[in-house]
Structure 1
Amino acid sequence: MRRSDQPTIITDAERSPSDQLRSRQRRYILMMSIRGVCLILGAVLVTAEAPLLWLWLPLCAVGMILVPWLAVLLANDRPPKDRHRLHRPGARRPRETGPAQIGPMPTQSPAGRIIDVEP
């Protein structure tokens, strides 16, 4: 059965780029909100002179430094490509092709010599 004869299954379709962007934006906003909470919490703890301040301030500082870095990394990340996903038992794998040809495609003449053809 050729690949074009196989039906397309909607669950195999990738998410649209706008949907991917929307989910990355939501994740970024959530993580930056956590950073804001760490900043406010650290300021409140210092002002209130909370017990165990030596423990809470480094935790808030890690949240204020590490979370934005992770938020940017995850916001710029894309979902994995199909070739990296697990192979379904019933599906056929696409055929591997050789390296891509750069430039004009060579053809063979009747004498067996290769002739470069201009596009």
Structure 2
Amino acid sequence: MVKRQAYQPILITDAARSQDDQLTSRQRRYVLMMGIRVACIVAGAILVGAQAPMLWLWLPLCALGMVLIPWLAVLLANDRPPKDEHRLANKFHHQQRDETPPMSITAEERPHRVIDADL
């Protein structure tokens, strides 16, 4: 016979962020990275105009930033957090195999309150 754990409710701290919060965070990250790209372009133009020493080093670094940052910005802007089944799989990964997760209790076995509107 398999021993079942007592029902444990899901904590609000385990809840996923809302879609709007995720989108806003990704948009801010994208704008920040594009700002860094613009700074690379401006810095490259200033270095060329001022004929700075070690231009052979600084100009390729600025060009690398101008090329790689947009690619990374798009990848990170389209990145989403893992789906719930992956989060829960990692959470219960360290449990022993014979233990069942707390959500495996059927609805009939869970404690519940009855709210009667006729009071």
Is the shorter-chain TM-score for this pair beyond 0.5, marking a shared fold? yes
Give the alignment of 1:17-36 within 5 angstroms. 17-36=19-38
Partner Cα separation in structure 2 for residue 76 and residue 93 of structure 1: 33
Quote the residue 1:76 is aligned against. 78
Is this contact kept in 1: 2:5–2:102, CA < 8 A? Answer: no
Counterpart position of 1:15: 17
Paired residues of 2:44 and 2:59 also in contact (CA < 8 A): yes
Q: How many percent identity over aligned positions? A: 63
Q: Judging by fraction of residues, say which structure has more strand.
A: 1
Aligned counterparts of 2:28 and 2:55: Cα–Cα separation in 1: 32
Q: Report what 1:114 is aligned to.
A: none
Structure 1 counterpart SS, 2:91 = coil
Q: CA RMSD in A?
A: 2.4
**Length-normalised TM-score, structure 1:** 0.69
**Larger relative contact order (CA 8 Å, sep ≥ 6):** 2
Q: Where is the helix percentage greater, Structure 1 or Structure 2?
A: 2
- Unaligned regions of 5+ residues in structure 2, if any? 105-119
Task: Using the TM superposition, give the Cα deviation of residue 93 of structure 1 relative to its aligned residue in structure 2, in angstroms.
Answer: 7.1
CA drift of 1:81 comes to 1.8
Q: CA deviation at 1:27?
A: 0.4
Q: Structure 1 residue runs of 4+, over 3 Å off?
A: 88-91
The one-character-per-residue Cα deviations of 1:78-110 (angstroms, maximum 9, x if unpaired) are 111233332255782767xxxxxxxxxxxxxxx
Q: Which residue pairs with 2:91 in the alignment?
A: 87
